[in-house]
Chains A and B, each alone.
Chain A
């Protein structure tokens, strides 16, 4: 800010007001009483702060800290605010608002300087201007590379593949393989391919929900015959909407419900969505029972699990 500029408009004046000036009066009708009330509030605030100190010293319950210091702060704050509102000069006072814009001469001088230095001095070296611009532009682009590309690997096939393979044992979270005799009709358990703990994101990607719908072999959709031996159906537990675990099973309606956004999938009908924002069915895992009665995967999932993305075919 230019000092000479200001001095022209507001000469420094030392103005004096007396205590009797109406603007100097407090807003309170009875200042003495107001002062006593405010002092009392501040004093109680002080007591609250001391209470906090004592509570801290004796390691009190967690809520006591906030109750003491919070009460103290509210009372002290209300006191200071009331002091400002009711006991300080009530005014009103006024301040002139000077134009932010400069005078027409100032603007003209500034505009001329910018245009002349920009267009005149810089602009006439078109070659330098162009090469410098190109250099800065390329610099801007390449300097972003480490900020982006260094941060992570390329997706590759990780989004399309899981650890489920032909013959994978179905194990529960502790790694115990599941037998056909383990689960009663209506039972649900989250299963993984054996050895899922050894891959970094196995637990997140491979999670599959195993439900026993009945006791006899079952077919959820045409073309999925032999996928559900002994009434067992298995679906990827990743919601096709946003990837939340589809963790709620409504046994009566045979629906899997996602607690995040209430997508519902019919487990008796190939995991197709019946309600909510999920656009695709839950991928179904084909199962078989081996000679010793263990449940195993007939193959991996026939499509990527989880939510949609550009490369998903």
Chain B
């Protein structure tokens, strides 16, 4: 790249010496790797500041927690459907024939120190992971962050969501308990429902007819190696593109399509991000410690001829379960063949359409708006009413399906007949999304009329004078309020803590404080 590093000028030497042994090491590294130039600009990389930009961070940190706790769990879990007699410390199960997968899952919960915490943290982190991805994706959608030049990164994000949901399902199937075993049975039947090749696909996936003895070992390698590896690669690509294309930002003072305004990576963003990683870890640990999740010892081992009441999957599978519940009993039976539309449409075609629309959205929007420009400034959702309304349609549709996955529980709770509940959901799943569009459109248009809409309002202080007259003055700025007041400047190389450069300490924005 450059030869100046190996033939330093005298002034450069002087500077180097003033940075001591660390500077010396950095220079040696630069001689070999050429890190000075890129390293400096990486440290100065600007991260815009907005609460909604941390949603993706939650997903990333949950993934870190999943990797860490997951590696711990693999040290004890045995992916085998061989039957053994349980002899562990959980008395109600003692003497029962259970698979090694189930026995080892119970054992790592009760016999291994911290095992219960790790297992519960792993499960909680997964639920948080998928949830954070969904909310992050909603933010990206409603603010138009998916537009050119970021369509590719958006696509990667949607694929990551699909992989996360898939790996979540495969993962909670591994303990081979009564509830997850029923989930595997349903997965077999859904695979079977594919026209023409369904039974072949199911037999190849399961190594024979259900249940067989291959599915747990296969799910294990899918869960711990294949999908995590793909996720890891795509997350890396996601972050690389984020750095390469730079972050989007909301419009505001001094913010243009041509710049990024915010805090530098080192040290400000790094501090906030590191702290936030610990917060996410801490909250997950507290959940894992205090909120029971998936108590497999209460469900018992899987037995193909038994079932538990109110069987429900993890939350991110709820919309598919709801679709299966409320779909009418349509099947095609003709010419000696059967197409189980009552399964294939809700469980295979419907998710295909939902994720297909997600993937196609940047193209759909470009075709409608004819907008082929690059966008680095985000939209406020109210300023794009039609997109926002379309998003509301999709979200309300999925939410209705999600609610439909608990028809039995709701019917019981509201003391109404299951039939009424089912028919209500069949209508609501169509009706609510149709209503969501005009209502959202209207709300957006009304919000556009509000001046200073969406900005934090400064409080007013009401003063009473000695004569009894009332006056109102704006309150003093709170931390964060004045953030946009100063014009943004490039990050300086040095911060000279001693030298007095003659700035008047009483100038606006200057507070001389003890350090």
A66 B508 Cβ-Cβ under 8 A: no
**B257 sits at the interface (CB 8 A):** yes
B418 / chain A contacts, CB cutoff of 8 Å: 262, 275
Are A67 and B512 in touch, CB under 8 angstroms?
Answer: no
Among A6, A24, A69, A310, point to the contact of B338 (Cβ < 8 A): A310
Mark out the residues of chain A between 246 and 284 whose CB falls within 8 Å of any chain B CB in the assembled complex. Answer: 247-248, 259-263, 273, 275-280
A-B contacts, CB under 8 A, total = 375
Contacts of A73 in B (CB 8 A): 278-279, 281-282, 285
Question: In the complex the two chains form, is B289's CB within 8 Å of A67's CB?
Answer: yes
The yes or no answer to A70 lying at the interface (CB within 8 A) is yes
- A89 in contact with B495 given A21-B503, A95-B44, A279-B331 (CB within 8 Å): yes
Interface residues on B, range: 35 or more
A84 touches B305 (CB 8 A): no
Q: Is B263 in contact with A311, judged by CB distance below 8 angstroms?
A: no
Instruction: Looking at the assembled complex, report how far the CB atom of A7 sits from the nearest CB atom of chain B, in whole angstroms.
Output: 9
Contact A308-B343, Cβ < 8 Å, known A153-B203, A243-B185: yes
Give Cα A85 to B479, complex, Å: 10
Distance in angstroms from A254 CB to nearest chain B CB is: 16
Q: Is the CB of A85 within 8 A of B198?
A: no
Question: Contact between A74 and B258 (Cβ–Cβ < 8 Å)?
Answer: no
Which residue in B195, B196, B263 is a CB contact (below 8 Å) of A93? B263
Interface centre among B192, B501, B515 (most CB of A within 10 A): B192
Distance between Cα atoms of A26 and B271 in the complex (Å):
14
How many Å from the CB of B277 to the closest CB on chain A? Answer: 7
Given contacts A18-B500, A56-B113, A242-B343, contact A275 B483 (CB under 8 A): no
Taking the complex as formed, is B505 at the interface, i.e. its CB lies under 8 A from any CB of chain A?
A: yes
Segment touching A, from B231-239, B392-400, B484-492 = B484-492
Is B384 an interface position by the 8 A CB rule? no
Decide if B135 is an interface residue (CB 8 Å cutoff): no
Nearest CB on A from B48, distance (A): 9
Check if B285 sits within 8 Å of A310, measured CB to CB.
no
Chain A residue contacts of B206, Cβ below 8 A: 152
The answer to whether A262 touches B422, judged by C-beta atoms less than 8 angstroms apart, is: yes
Q: Is B275 an interface residue (CB 8 A)?
A: yes
Interface 1/0 per residue, B324-354 and A, CB below 8 Å: 1111111100001111101100000000000
Residues A97 and B496 in contact in the complex (CB < 8 Å), given A81-B279, A279-B331: no
Interface locus among A106-114, A176-184, A203-211, A224-232: A203-211
Within A25-50, which residues are at the interface with B (CB < 8 Å)? 25-29, 31-32
- Give A residues with C-beta under 8 Å from B: 1, 3, 6, 12-29, 31-32, 56, 59, 62-67, 69-86, 88-97, 100, 148-149, 151-155, 158-159, 173, 190, 192, 200-201, 203-205, 207, 237, 241-245, 247-248, 259-263, 273, 275-280, 306-313
Of all A-B residue pairs in the complex, the 3 with the closest CB atoms, nearest first, are A66-B289, A77-B278, A84-B271
Sample of 11 further A-B pairs with CB below 8 A, known A15-B490, A20-B510: A23-B489, A28-B479, A77-B280, A80-B278, A89-B268, A93-B489, A100-B149, A152-B203, A261-B321, A276-B325, A279-B342
